[in-house]
Amino acid sequence: MIETSTDVTVYETRPQRVVSGRGAARALPEELTGLGVSRVMLVAGEAELAVAELLTEKLDVVATFSGVRPHVPVEAAEAARELARSSGAEVLVSVGGGSTTGTAKAVALTQGLPIVAVPTTYAGSEATDVWGLTEAGRKTNGADAVVLPRVVLYDPELTTSLPPHLTVSSGLNAVAHCVDSLWGPSASPASTAFAVEGLRLLAQGLTAVLADGADLTARERCQSGTYLAAAAFAAAGSGIHHKICHVLGGAYNLEHAAMHAVVLPHVLGFNAPAAPEAADRVAGALAGAGFGDGGDALAALLALYATLGAPRSLGELGLRADQVNEAARRTLEKVPPSNPRPVTETQLAELIGRAQAGADAVEVPLS
Ligand code: NAD
């Protein structure tokens, strides 16, 4: 099988039905009929359970799993798998953010059940075939077609309850998918087009949602951007941004979305000098949403951050200054060779240290 190389680009589409728009979640019964399944195992965290039960009240729900935990600890995955086995469920319906979708994926991975995902944040896990599990402070990821939800229902009405700080951090998690996919190992014209348009929609949508959280057109725009961002990331893979966050999330249990938001400008400042085309695309997409003049990607991203009041410090999320060197050492092992710029442990410690302290992101010139 041909893989991406310097001469060849591979873009693999992922088979999935995506239903978007106001009231999309109400299409759930028809979508289950379309899949030829009826016995539902509902996966929803405690906070989303009431909404999830309302959406599924007329369905044959044979089991409900609400023990959703951030970063999908193996214990939670095992409990959910056991419930799927014992209930004879035919389909998993997940209603919630990335942790909820991730729990359904953990079940699909071993039980082979299809997933219908109803996302309520902008994490984007529903559009990828990537699963993740955490055991003893180490996060393991993998990609498997069986965990890709068969149907996604993007309903903006389910996101109006997201408070501003979650809207911003989750939306910037999606922005990070766009940016980090531009220099991913399998980046292609298709994934790049998705990433650029996703970035523009997210920047526009998030700004408008912050002004009015009930603006459904803006919420819809954020969901469209979320899908494009995650599909780009699934196709292209990622650079050091996702590797840094993968290590920090698994080892120090930092809040996923806010951590991505804090780290991204520092990674852009580091990678941009070695990836001028990607930087131009970021600057162009953000200029299309009213941020910057299309020239300076980092300045435009920081302008978006200032407008959104984005989180700035990993220290505030729980990473101590005395953990920075260890985090850099752990991350170094994971740096992908395809990252546009090689990175040393010292450079990683500097980058993570600035993010820990809440310092301004700076462009790191090529030496
Ligand atoms: P989350 O699912 O943990 O949710 C964060 C918080 O938001 C929770 O308290 C939840 O109850 C609340 N919430 C969710 N929807 C809400 C709503 N509509 N209104 C109010 N509150 C709401 O966090 P997340 O950022 O959505 O997802 C993070 C997880 O997803 C991480 O484990 C990450 O690894 C995973 N992820 C995976 C992929 C992938 O491709 N596999 C992609 C992105 C994220």
Supply the pLDDT for residue 253: 86
Whether the Cβ atoms of residue 242 and residue 271 lie closer than 8 Å to each other: no
Sole residue written with tokens 């994934």: 191
Supply the pLDDT for residue 1: 63
Whose CA is closest to atom 20 on ligand 1?
Answer: 162
CA–centroid distance, 101 to ligand 1, in Å, is 8
Q: Encode burial over 39-57: b for 16+ CB neighbours within 10 A, e otherwise.
A: bbbbbbbeebbebbeebbe
Please state, in angstroms and rounded to a whole number, the distance separating the CA atoms of residues 169 and 350. Answer: 23
CA–centroid distance, 361 to ligand 1, in Å, is 25
Supply the pLDDT for residue 6: 67
Supply the pLDDT for residue 13: 87
Q: CB under 6 Å to ligand 1: residues?
A: 45, 47-48, 70-71, 96-100, 102, 120-121, 123-125, 128, 130, 132, 158-159, 161-162, 166, 170, 173, 256-257
Supply the pLDDT for residue 143: 94
Supply the pLDDT for residue 2: 66
- Given the DSSP bridges, would you call strands 39-43 and 17-20 parallel, antiparallel or unpaired? unpaired
Supply the pLDDT for residue 83: 98
Paired strand residues for 142: 131
Supply the pLDDT for residue 237: 93
| Phi, psi torsion values for 361, nearest 5 degrees | -70, 140
Can you give the pLDDT of all 367 residues of the chain as single tens digits?
666 666 888 898 889 999 999 999 999 999 999 999 999 999 999 999 999 999 999 999 999 999 999 889 999 999 999 999 999 999 999 999 999 999 999 999 999 999 999 999 999 999 999 999 998 877 898 999 999 999 999 999 999 999 999 999 999 999 999 999 999 999 999 999 999 999 999 999 999 999 999 999 999 999 999 999 999 999 999 999 999 998 898 889 899 999 999 999 999 999 999 999 999 999 999 999 999 999 999 999 999 999 999 999 999 999 999 999 999 999 998 999 999 999 999 999 999 999 999 999 999 999 8
Whose CA is closest to atom 5 on ligand 1?
Answer: 97
The length of the chain, given as a count of residues? 367
